Amino acid sequence: MRQPTNRFHISLIAGALAAAALGACKKSSEYATNDTTSMRVDSAAGRTDTMAATSVPIDSGTTSGKWADANVLGYLTVANNGEIALGRLGERMATNPAVTSFARGMVTEHQRMLMDTRLLASKAAATADTTAGDARDLMSHDADEIKDLTGKARGADWDKAFIDEVIEGHQKILDELQDGAKNSANATMRGALAKASGQVQQHLTRAQHIKANLKD
């Protein structure tokens, strides 16, 4: 009787061990599935974090568009150089005292603004890019206008043509500077553009006043 009983107990123990092993395998399988899912989530999160880390802050100091620091400095440089050249021509060619005085003041003030631009470039450790589209177009326009005015005879008509060019040029520059003051990514550059806008607006207002008082 003992031998059958022993075989019965052995069968029970073997069954229990098999059940335990089956349960362990099931849990191991579930864990593996969950762990794989977790790895997929972690991997996705890792990619998201990497993308976030490479994003450029909105006020990073530079922008890939029209008003990157180098473009701001380039446009300011070209604008000031152009108005200095135009003012010097006005000093030589104008016959109306008010026009001559304005031209002289324009040279002095744009020289000061050019110096401010150079100081800004030094502070920002940036180099002016005068080859960018807007700066290049302005440089070409200024050269054409100075060539045209140089070929005209001195007199009342010349003075009017000069003032008209000053008004047209300053209005164009003012529009560009105001656009830059809104859209540059660098707060320092935005401040410099806003300051330059105010100075250009003063020149424009004075030129418009002189034009209104020139005799026909």
pLDDT tens for 176-185 read 999 999 999 8
Cβ neighbours, 10 Å, residue 203: 23
CATH 1.20.1260.10 fits domain 69-213: yes
Task: Read off the DSSP letter of residue 68.
Answer: -
- Scanning the structure block, which residue is given the tokens 């061990």? 17
Residues 6+ apart with CB under 8 A from 94: 100, 103, 154, 158, 159, 162
Give pLDDT, residue 109.
96
Q: How far is Cα 60 from Cα 186, in angstroms, rounded to an integer?
A: 7
Mean local confidence (pLDDT), 135-162: 94
Q: Give the model's pLDDT for residue 116.
A: 95
Query: Can you tell me the distance from the alpha carbon of 138 to that of 142, in angstroms, rounded to the nearest whole number?
Result: 6
Q: Is 208 exposed, middle or buried (0-12, 13-18, 19+ CB in 10 A)?
A: middle
Task: State whether the Cα torsion 61-73-116-165 is positive or negative.
Answer: negative
Q: Work out the pLDDT band at 216, boundaries 50, 70, 90.
A: low
pTM: 0.69
* Greatest pairwise CA separation for the chain in angstroms: 140
pLDDT for residue 148 is more than 60:
yes
Beta carbons within 10 angstroms of residue 60's beta carbon = 10
pLDDT tens for 74-122 read 999 999 999 999 999 999 999 999 999 999 999 999 999 999 999 999 9
Alpha-carbon gap, residue 39 to 56, rounded angstroms: 28
